[in-house]
Amino acid sequence: MGRSPCCSKEGLNRGAWTALEDKILTSYIKAHGEGKWRNLPKRAGLKRCGKSCRLRWLNYLRPDIKRGNISVDEEELIVRLHKLLGNRWSLIAGRLPGRTDNEIKNYWNTTLGKKLAKADRSSSSPPSSKDINHPSFKSRSKRPVSKLSCSLSAKATRPQVTRYKPLECTKVLASAGSSLPNKNQSLYSITPEYSPFQANYCPNGSASELGQDSENPRTHHVHCGTHDDHLQENCVGDFGLINFGYGNEFNTANIMCADQPLIVEQEMLENWTSVCVEEKDTLDLDSLAYLLNSEEWP
DNA sequence: AAGCCTCTCAACCGCGAAGTA
DNA sequence: TTACTTCGCGGTTGAGAGGCT
């Protein structure tokens, strides 16, 4: 495609995958599991580069893949998530069970993007360069934090998004009066002193990590990074950070409010936690849609 | 019927983060 | 701590299908 290959591709097949290659890759992964993509082609006897195998598996061969027929609900969810997350397709895909980032990206570029651009034009408001959906918004070098043992809040200095390296989650912080997770629940924190709304999910958290403030028994702490980290690195108030556990995958979403601080009432927070947190630490599509569709959501 | 244009989407690419020695 | 390797992501490309003239 006019670019120099990222690695030696001599003798490697390129282009569309054949049924036989698919079969070989599928059975190899079923037998040996995912990962070690670099060595996989050799061991499986495929004349493909590891990247290509990974892509093929993740986007088309995985058994839980749902393809085509994107429903209206899913479409609406994509739009809303894109509004919040920008072109972070993997994060968006993480909220849509069975959908892949590539599929959503393609769908956006071919269908939704145009649809919305058309609607935008008809509403006669010119796109702002501050808009995270604007082409000038490049999140490429500021990738989202995913699969973290604990995620950090990030700052949003529009139009750019800055995300931080994960730091160890050592404490649980919650405002007095907020609903606290019980021992079977994941740890969510509410740290109003840093931002209007911030909820961090620590998937490996346990009840023992729920430390109560000795001075204020109603105050719990989640500490991802130091207070200084927050103070120095956070332009607090611009957004909330929400992690939704989805299935076995730990997904992180830096939910940004593009134009205004995300203010979350205590009641809404409690509603949200009751909707989104209770069941097996996961959030299903309906719950997320509910959250996104809620009045308070920007 | 043929040629051109547009659209879709699978696949490739480079880059940065994460992991490892 | 540094250097190197591997992985995962978003942007981009190009082949093929379908529509239009």
Q: Which residue is nearest to nucleotide B18 (CA to C1')?
A: A165
For the A67-136 domain, the top CATH level (class) is mainly alpha
A108 or A161, greater pLDDT: A108
Q: Which pair of tokens denotes residue A5?
A: 């290959």
Residue A117, φ and ψ in degrees, nearest 5: -60, -40
- How far is A209 from A202, CA to CA, in rounded Å? 10
Q: Please give the model's pTM, rounded to 2 decimal places.
A: 0.54
Distance of CA A114 to the CA centre of its chain: 24
- pLDDT band for A37, please (50, 70, 90 cuts): confident
A224 or A21, greater pLDDT: A21
Q: Do domains A19-61 and A67-136 have the same CATH topology?
A: yes
CATH code for residues A19-61:
1.10.10
- Lowest-pLDDT range of A3-7, A14-18, A224-228, A291-295: A224-228
* Domains of chain A, residue spans: 19-61, 67-136, 155-288
What's the CA A148/C1' C13 distance, rounded, in angstroms? 33
- pLDDT band for A277, please (50, 70, 90 cuts): very low
Q: Does any strand C atom come closer than 7 Å to the Cβ of A205?
A: no
pLDDT at A287: 52
Give chain A's mean pLDDT.
54
Q: Does any strand B atom come closer than 7 Å to the Cβ of A221?
A: no
- How far is A225 from A229, CA to CA, in rounded Å? 6
Residue A11, φ and ψ in degrees, nearest 5: 80, 5
